[in-house]
A and B are shown apart, each in its own frame.
Chain A
Amino acid sequence: MPSLTMQSPPRQNMLDALKGTWPDRLLLLIALISIVGTWFVIQANIAAGPAIAEIYHGGTLLASYPLPQEGEAPITLQVKGDLGLSDIIIDEHGARIASAPCASQHCVLSGPHAHAGDIIACVPNKILITLRGSAESRFDAIVE
């Protein structure tokens, strides 16, 4: 087995260690370029159009709602997942899960999300909320 500590002398200094070797930096560069590239492609595909929240249970789409503008009434709904009922509130701040039957409550604690590409997932209950489009696009349409 190759021993890498033989190739590079042991680093006694944390700052030296943070610099990495040339192959490390090349790898980081490749990783960052591909991640940012993918991010742009995803955003280009989902950021267009009005802001919409889609709600899934497992593989099925349960509902999809446009995000309300300021002053419009919030949308509240209850969806049934594998464990029980999750309460979802969609208002001008975005979509959030208000209560969930799972033990971890990660989905509730993550709060409201409104940006295209944000997701709220409750894995134990198999509930997913995704957001696409942007709230500003209505105004863009007016300007154009």
Chain B
Amino acid sequence: MTSLARPPLKELETKARWLALLMLAIGLHVFEASLPSLGPWFKPGLANLVTLIALAMMGTQAAISLSIARILVGSFFIGTLFTPTFIIAMAGGLSATLVMVAAWRCIPGLSLVGISLLGALAHMLAQFVTVEALFIQQSALYYALPPLLILSCISGWINGALAEYICGRLAHEKI
């Protein structure tokens, strides 16, 4: 009956925390899809904010698994699972997460603000590269990229500050 033995409390706590963050991320993913959009390319990236918090609080693996699970389940809820929208979201979300992980590990001195900025830029670039590679093979697509990248800078910076604030508060309250 050892298989029924209760796992250590620490492990359960980690799993519960990861799942709570996943629920939050899925909620934000669905919420963002229902917002009036500034166009099909641009979202505020609130769901990626949760990935960033997971990276800061729980580490690399938790952040990567969280973003994959969030896009899978979130797309299921908004009805885009396995459509082009889903492929683009997955490419963008994964690239953003991997870039943020790399920045977190390799660039000293960056706060979550700078990491979030890089993540937002990676997300936007990956969307366009994916569309050009898989759907519309026209480099003319990239004409639209610079203004959108500037929007990404703004949203990435604000999300990073939010993440910094939230992580600061959570660490302070010893949760």
Contact = CB atoms under 8 A, between A and B. Distances in A.
- Assign chain B's interface to a size class: 35 or more
B107 A23 contact: yes
A28 B117 contact: yes
A96 to B, nearest CB: 13
A137 interface: no
B66 to A, nearest CB: 17
Question: DSSP majority for the B interface?
Answer: helix
Interface in B69-91: 79-80, 83-85, 88
Interface string A78-117: 0000000000000000000000000110110010000011
Contacts of A119: 140-141, 143-144
A36 interface: yes
B138 A56 contact: yes
Interface residues of A, number: 49
28 contacts: A4-B110, A5-B168, A11-B165, A12-B165, A12-B169, A17-B113, A20-B113, A20-B114, A20-B160, A21-B114, A22-B109, A23-B107, A27-B110, A27-B114, A27-B117, A31-B153, A32-B150, A35-B150, A39-B146, A42-B146, A59-B138, A106-B39, A117-B144, A121-B141, A123-B40, A123-B88, A130-B140, A130-B141
